[in-house]
Amino acid sequence: MSELTTVERVGLYGGAALLLIGTVGMGLLEIIAGAPHPVSGEGQVVHETLISLSVRSYTILLGLILMATYGITNLATKPPKDTSI
Amino acid sequence: MVTNIQTRLLGRDVSFPVEESRFAYWLVVMRLIVGWWFLHAGLDKFLAWPFDASWFVGGAAAGTSLAPIVTLFSDGIMLSFVNVMVPLGQTLIGLGLIVGALTRLAAFFGAFLMTFFYFINGETGGWAHGVITGDLLGLLIFAMIATLGAGRVLGVDAYLAKTEFVRNHPRMRYLIG
């Protein structure tokens, strides 16, 4: 277990933050401040969104990209310290 | 049976003891089910060969946030590459998880593929059932398998971890379970 560098913090925490903002954060905003969203007979949520769905998509995508970048750079730059396990 | 999970969050040591004798059981169940999910998806495509992904990479993907990348693979040699790599990748990811070989590598590529399925299926469907879809949950399970390094319980990775090659190449530990 080692301390994280700034770049790693951006990848891990920035990635998770964006993923959570895109899913939970914007989801809560839609519930609190969005239009009512009745569920249709087929289970579809029919309503206009407060935040454009493509903004939400890109937020989640950027979060996932940051997390993947963290994983790949970690593999490329940091061999595991404890090789006994 | 108490296991001490040594872990950190936001720079703080948040290690905690867990009394959970079913930890290994759950890792194996999760690996087998997710592994079969992908092995089945890959084998299905090989059994019904030829597989043509153009409806997805060329059709469905157009207009989505991944279109700039995915549509590059919609014709010619790039499409042929996808037509082979998707079923081959799914089969190898599934096999890797089931036998627990190169588990983290398999889980990484599983999450990689799920990223495409998640955004393209979600956006073409207008996120009609919300943004937390089965595809995103699949992606998260792959991430969980990679995080937990689930390949060393009843898996080939338990053997690989002890080999001379892995001992001489510590970075391999990031690829095995």
Split into its structural domains, chain A has a count of: 1
Please report the pLDDT score of residue A2 as a whole number: 61
| Partners of residue B132 in chain A, C-beta under 8 Å | 23
**3-state SS, residue A82:** coil
Q: Return contacts of B40-43, CB within 8 angstroms, 24+ apart.
A: B40/B94, B41/B87, B41/B90, B41/B94, B42/B86, B42/B87, B42/B88, B42/B89, B42/B90, B42/B91, B42/B92, B42/B93, B42/B94, B43/B87, B43/B91, B43/B94
Please report the pLDDT score of residue B166 as a whole number: 83
pLDDT at A59 over 70: yes
On whether residue A69 sits in a domain, the answer given is yes
Please report the pLDDT score of residue B142 as a whole number: 95
Question: Are the beta carbons of A23 and B8 separated by less than 8 Å?
Answer: no
- For B103, how many CA atoms within 13 A lie in the half-sphere containing its CB? 35
On whether residue A44 sits in a domain, the answer given is yes
On whether residue A13 sits in a domain, the answer given is no
Please report the pLDDT score of residue B21 as a whole number: 77
| Alpha-carbon span B65 to B164, nearest angstrom | 44
Instruction: Name the band, by pLDDT with cuts 50, 70 and 90, for residue A65.
Output: very high
| Partners of residue B133 in chain A, C-beta under 8 Å | none
Nearest to B65 among A3, A23, A58 (CB): A58
pLDDT at A1 over 60: no
pTM here? 0.83
pLDDT tens per residue across span B12-32? 888 888 887 788 888 899 999
**3-state SS, residue A48:** coil
pLDDT tens per residue across span B105-137? 999 999 999 999 999 999 988 888 889 999 999
Please report the pLDDT score of residue A46 as a whole number: 66
Given the cut 0.85, state whether the ipTM is greater than it: no
pLDDT tens per residue across span A25-41? 998 998 888 776 667 67
B124 part of contact set with chain A, CB < 8 Å:
no
- Write out the residue range of the structural domain in which residue A64 sits: 22-77
On whether residue A15 sits in a domain, the answer given is no
Q: Are A17 and A67 in contact (CB under 8 A)?
A: no
Question: Are the beta carbons of B171 and A80 separated by less than 8 Å?
Answer: yes
A83 part of contact set with chain B, CB < 8 Å:
yes
Please report the pLDDT score of residue B119 as a whole number: 94
On whether residue A53 sits in a domain, the answer given is yes
Nearest to B129 among A44, A56, A75 (CB): A44
What are the domain boundaries of chain B?
A: 26-174
On whether residue A73 sits in a domain, the answer given is yes
